[in-house]
Structure 1
Amino acid sequence: MFDLLPDLESLRKRRSKNIEDAVGRGAVVGSDAEHPTLPVKSTAPSKRKPSKVSAAPLKQEVYRYQRSAGNTHSTGARPMPQQAPDLTLRCTELDMDGNITVRAGEFQKSELCAQHGLQARDLRKIDSKFVNQMPAILVRRHAILVNLLHIRALIEADRIVLFDSIGSHSQSLLVYELQERLRSNARSGPPEPAQPFEFRALEAVLISVVGSLQSDEEVLVNLVQGLLAYLEESVDRSKLRELLQYSKRLSRFEQKVLNIRDAIEEVLEQDEDLAAMYLTQKLHGTARARDDHEDVELMMETYLKQVEEIVNHIESVSSHVRTTEDVVNIILDSQRNSLLLLEIRLTILTVALSSGTFLSGLFGMNLLNTFESHPHAFALVSTVAFFSIAALTFAGLRSMRKVLRRIN
C-alpha cells in the first residue's frame, strides 16, 4: 500500500493541473465525459477562481489503479507448495527388562533403516499408513518383523519396537503383557536357562494375536448362533437381513484368520528363517545349524494349532449358516408354492363363476323369448347355472390334484 503513495501523488498533481488549464479556457473538465465544456459569459479580463471539482472521478481512477495492481500481483503469485510426504514413524521401544525406553517417539525412516539394518521396503510391512496389507513374519539378519492384525513390531536380541497402529487399545494391552512377561523372567533368576528375549517377545505377540482372534470369534459366533436359533422357530425378513450381514462378517473374519495361519505356516516351512530367529546367539557370535530350530518351531506350532482351531470353528459355524439358509429357502419356496396353489384355485373358481354369469347374461338381454311367461323358467335357469359352476370347479380342482401328484 505504501508503494502506491508516490503514484497517487503524481496522479493528483496531474489532475489539478488539468483542472486549472480547463478553468483558464472557460471550461470545467470532468472525468469520463460527464461534465461538458461551459461557455464563458464575459470576455472582460478577470481572474476567475477555480470551481470546486468533485473528487469522485479521482477516487474511481485510484480504485481502478489499485485493482489493476492487485490483479498483476495475484497473477504473479507463486502456487502453494504441495505437502511433503510423511517420512517418519511413531513407535514405542521396550528393553529386555520390560522397561519403556521410548514412548511414542517419532523417527525418520532412513534413521530406522540405518539403526536396525533394514531395507526401505521392509518398513512397508510395519508402517500403519499402508492399509490392507497381508499378515507376515519376516526374518532379517538382526531383526524379526511382525505384521499380524493390530501389531506391527520389530524384534531384536535386546529390545522390541512397537509401531503405532489403528488398534491402540489392543496395543496397550500388548505393552502391558510384554512388560509382565519380561519382568517375570527377570525375577525368575538364572537357575533355569531362560528363553531368549526374541522368543519371549515373539510369543507375547502371538499370544496377543490369538487372544484377539478368540475374543472376536466368541462375540461373532454367539451373535450368529442366537440368530440361527431364532430363525429355526420363525422366518422373519429383518432377521434374514441380519443373517446376510453376519454371513459376510464371518467370511471376512475367516479370511483374516486364514491369512494369519498362512503367515505362520510360511515361516515354519523355511528352515533358514527358523534358524535365523536365534538373534541372541547371532549377537554373541555363535553359529547355529540350519536344522537346529526345535524350540522356536515348537512354539510357533503351538500357536498355529490354536489358529487352526479357530479356523475350524468358524468353518463349522459358516456351514451351519449355509444349512440354515438352505432350510429357509426351502420354507420360503413352500410358502411360495402355497400362494401359487391358492391363486390357481381362485382362477378355477373365477372361470366357473364366469360360465354361470354367461348363462344368466343370455337371459338378461332385452330380447323376447318364450321363457318370460314360463312359471318355472327362473328355477330352471338358476339350477343349470349352479350345476355348471359346480361341475367346472370340480373338474378344475381334480385336474390340479393330478398335476400335483405327478410332481410329488
Structure 2
Amino acid sequence: MAGLRDPFIPPSYSVRSKSVNQLFGGGRPVLSGLDFSVVKKRGQGSRSWIRIDVDGQSEVLELDKASLMRRCNLPARDLRLLDPLFVYPTTILGREKAIIVNLEQIRCIITADEVLLMNSLDSCVRQYELELLRRLDMNKNLSADDLPFEFRALEVALELACALLDAQVTELEIEIYPVLDELASSISTLNLERVRRMKSHILALTRRVQKVRDEIEHLMDDDGDMAEMYLTEKKERNKAYASSELYISNFAGFPRASMSAPVSPLSHSGSGKIEKALSSAMSRSRIDGEHVEELEMLLEAYFVVIDGTLNKLLSLKEYIDDTEIFINIKLDNIRNQLIQFELLLTTGTFVVTIFAAVAGVFGMNIVISLFHYAPAFVWVMIITAIFGGLIFISFLWYYKHKKLIP
C-alpha cells in the first residue's frame, strides 16, 4: 500500500525545480553556500555584561538578547540602541522598569536593583565600573541615601561622558592655538593641512557634544520622561499597590471574589493585566504630580558642564574662522601689492617701448641731413627720455588720483 501512494511533491514540480537548479547553478542548489542557521543566530548571540548591584557587588554575565528582554522587560528596539554594530546617537530613555543609557562608550541598562554594563576593552567601561563601586561603597559606609540607586548610576555615566568630552576639548585647545598662531605668521602648506585636520576633528567633536547636550535638554524639558526614570519609587509603589486589597477594589473595579466560588483563569489573567496597567498609570501620575526637582537638578548640573564644553568648541571654531579671515585679508593684501607692481611694470614697459619706437624710426635705411649732425644722437636721446619720464609721471599721477596705488 505504501508503494501505491502518491508522492508528497508532484513529479512535475520536481522536474521543474531540477531544471531551475540546472539553469542557475549547473545542477547545484542556488543557495548552497548560505547557512541560514548562522544568519538566524547572528543577532541572538550572547554578549558579556558587567552586573553591578545595589550592594556594590559586580560580576560578569553572558546574556543574550532574549534573556535581557525578559530580565529588564524591554522590547528589542530598545536593545538595538546598545548594540555596538549599529550607530545610534546619544540616548537616555526611561522605561517602566529600566533606564537605557548610551553615552559615548558607556552602554548600560539601569534598573532599580542593578546596572548591566556592556563589557568592552574601552577604558571608560572600566572607569565607570570602578567609580560606581566606589560611590556605592562610600554611600554604604556613610549611610547616605540622598539619591536612589538609578540616579547614582546615571550620574556616574553623565559625569564620565562629560569629563571625557571636556578632556578631549582641552587637549585640542592646547594643540590648536599654537598651530593657528604659527599659521597667522607663516602661511605654508604644512600649517594649512594641520589646521584642516584639526578643524575636521573640531566639527566631529562638536556633533558629539551637541548630541549629549540636546539629549539632556530634552529630558529636562519633559517632566513625563523624568518621571519615568524614578524606578525605585515606582517599584515600591507597585509593591504596595499589589499587596493592598483596597487598591484592587478601588482602582481595578473588580469585586472581591468569594472564597467558595470558582474563579475563572481568564478573568484572573485579565484582572492582572488591568491591575498592572492601572498600577503603572497611577505610579506615573503620582510622580508627575509631585516635584521632579531632584532629577532635574542632577541633569541641570551636567547640562551646565556640557554647555560649557560646547562653548569652548564654539570659541575654537570662531578663533579658526577669525584666523581664516585674517589669512584671507593677508593674501588679498599680497595680491593687491602684486597687482600694483604689475601695473607699474606695465607702465614702465610702455615708456621703454617709446625708446624702441624712436630707435626703429632712426634705424630705417634712409638718408636725412640729421645724420650728418654729430650732437643729434644725444639730443634725440635726451628729448625721448624727458618725454618718456613725463608720460610715466602722468600715469603715476593718474594712478594716485584714482587710488589705484597708495
Aligned partner of 1:138 among 81, 93, 96:
93
Specify the alignment match of 2:271 in structure 1. none
**Does residue 1:342 correspond to 2:341, yes or no?**
yes
Specify the alignment match of 1:87 in structure 2. 44
Specify the alignment match of 1:162 in structure 2. 117
Using the aligned pairs only, state the percent identity: 29
CA RMSD of aligned residues (A): 2.4
Give the Cα–Cα distance (whole angstroms) in 1 for the partners of residues 314 and 384 of structure 2: 64
CA contact (8 A) 1:137 1:263 kept: yes
Specify the alignment match of 1:364 in structure 2. 363
Give the Cα–Cα distance (whole angstroms) in 2 for the partners of residues 98 and 332 of structure 1: 62
Letter in 2 for 1:87: Q
**Does residue 1:116 correspond to 2:115, yes or no?**
no
Specify the alignment match of 2:55 in structure 1. 97
Instruction: Report which stretch shifted further, 146-155 or 289-298.
Output: 289-298
Specify the alignment match of 1:174 in structure 2. 128
How far residue 95 of structure 1 moved from its aligned partner, in angstroms, is: 1.9
Consecutive unaligned residues in structure 2, runs of 5 or more = 1-21, 239-282
Give the Cα–Cα distance (whole angstroms) in 1 for the partners of residues 118 and 97 of structure 2: 18
- Residue-by-residue CA offset, 1:240-262 (whole Å, 9 max, x unaligned): 33223323322222222111111
Instruction: Report which stretch shifted further, 272-281 or 208-217.
Output: 272-281
How far residue 141 of structure 1 moved from its aligned partner, in angstroms, is: 0.4
How far residue 178 of structure 1 moved from its aligned partner, in angstroms, is: 1.9
Instruction: Report which stretch shifted further, 148-157 or 249-258.
Output: 249-258
Specify the alignment match of 1:298 in structure 2. 297
Letter in 1 for 2:56: G
How far residue 89 of structure 1 moved from its aligned partner, in angstroms, is: 5.3
Q: Secondary structure at the match of 1:230?
A: helix
How far residue 164 of structure 1 moved from its aligned partner, in angstroms, is: 4.5
Aligned partner of 1:220 among 154, 157, 172:
172
Specify the alignment match of 2:199 in structure 1. 247
Larger Rg: 1
Letter in 2 for 1:76: G
CA contact (8 A) 2:139 2:145 kept: no
Specify the alignment match of 1:351 in structure 2. 350
CA contact (8 A) 1:89 1:163 kept: no
Instruction: Report which stretch shifted further, 204-213 or 266-275.
Output: 266-275
Alignment of 1:32-111 (within 5 A): 75-78=26-29, 79-82=32-35, 84=39, 85-88=42-45, 90=47, 91-102=49-60, 105=62, 107-111=63-67
Letter in 1 for 2:114: R
Q: Secondary structure at the match of 2:386?
A: helix
Give the Cα–Cα distance (whole angstroms) in 2 for the partners of residues 373 and 164 of structure 1: 107
Quickly say closer, same or farther: Cα 1:76–1:92, change in 2 above 3 A: farther
- Residue-by-residue CA offset, 1:353-391 (whole Å, 9 max, x unaligned): 011111011111233333332212211222222223212
**Does residue 1:397 correspond to 2:403, yes or no?**
no
How far residue 396 of structure 1 moved from its aligned partner, in angstroms, is: 1.7
Specify the alignment match of 2:385 in structure 1. 386
Q: Secondary structure at the match of 2:369?
A: coil
Give the Cα–Cα distance (whole angstroms) in 1 for the partners of residues 166 and 97 of structure 2: 32
Alignment of 1:274-313 (within 5 A): 274-285=226-237, 287=283, 288-290=286-288, 291-313=290-312
Specify the alignment match of 1:128 in structure 2. 84
CA contact (8 A) 1:92 1:161 kept: yes
**Does residue 1:272 correspond to 2:205, yes or no?**
no
Q: Secondary structure at the match of 2:402?
A: helix
CA contact (8 A) 2:52 2:116 kept: yes
- Residue-by-residue CA offset, 1:87-109 (whole Å, 9 max, x unaligned): 33523222223332225x3x322
- Residue-by-residue CA offset, 1:181-204 (whole Å, 9 max, x unaligned): 22222332x3x4352211111111
CA contact (8 A) 1:352 1:393 kept: yes
Give the Cα–Cα distance (whole angstroms) in 2 for the partners of residues 198 and 345 of structure 1: 77
CA contact (8 A) 1:360 1:381 kept: no
How far residue 81 of structure 1 moved from its aligned partner, in angstroms, is: 0.8
TM-score (structure 2 length as normaliser): 0.75
Specify the alignment match of 2:8 in structure 1. none
Letter in 2 for 1:129: L
CA contact (8 A) 2:80 2:86 kept: yes
CA contact (8 A) 1:360 1:385 kept: no
Letter in 2 for 1:140: R
Give the Cα–Cα distance (whole angstroms) in 2 for the partners of residues 397 and 238 of structure 1: 40
Q: Secondary structure at the match of 1:152?
A: strand
Q: Secondary structure at the match of 1:365?
A: coil
Letter in 2 for 1:342: F
Give the Cα–Cα distance (whole angstroms) in 2 for the partners of residues 335 and 269 of structure 1: 53
Letter in 2 for 1:313: K
Give the Cα–Cα distance (whole angstroms) in 2 for the partners of residues 365 and 152 of structure 1: 94
Specify the alignment match of 2:314 in structure 1. 315
CA contact (8 A) 1:139 1:273 kept: yes
Specify the alignment match of 1:33 in structure 2. none
Give the Cα–Cα distance (whole angstroms) in 1 for the partners of residues 194 and 401 of structure 2: 41
Specify the alignment match of 1:66 in structure 2. none
Give the Cα–Cα distance (whole angstroms) in 2 for the partners of residues 404 and 274 of structure 1: 67
